[in-house]
């Protein structure tokens, strides 16, 4: 599970470091998450393959929803 949270943590830190610059171009955190998810998922580099029934997907979805709603 820690391996799955490490890339998420890296994306959050990188977004935080560049948020002002991206904000000038009206690029929000959900846009970054979708783009990164597409890039590393089956549609792009296929680095991660997840089962839709996996518990880790539920946890990742809840974390992402919390970030989108409260940040």
Q: Which pLDDT does position 39 carry in this prediction?
A: 85
Q: Which pLDDT does position 40 carry in this prediction?
A: 78
Q: Which pLDDT does position 17 carry in this prediction?
A: 92
Beta carbons of 41 and 34 less than 8 angstroms apart: no
Q: Interior CA angle at 33 toward 4 and 52, to 5°?
A: 55
Residue with tokens 């890039």: 39
Q: Which pLDDT does position 52 carry in this prediction?
A: 67
Distances (CA, A) of 52 to 9, 16, 30, 33: 22, 29, 20, 18
Q: Low-confidence residues of the chain, pLDDT below 70?
A: 1-4, 48-53
Q: Which pLDDT does position 49 carry in this prediction?
A: 67
């Amino acid at each position: 599970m820690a391996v799955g949270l490490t890339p998420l943590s890296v994306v959050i830190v990188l977004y935080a470091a560049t948020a002002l610059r991206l904000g000038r171009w009206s690029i929000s955190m959900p846009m970054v998450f979708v783009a990164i998810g597409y890039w590393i998922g089956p549609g792009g580099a296929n680095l991660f393959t997840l089962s839709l029934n996996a518990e880790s997907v539920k946890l990742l979805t809840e974390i992402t929803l919390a970030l989108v709603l409260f940040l």
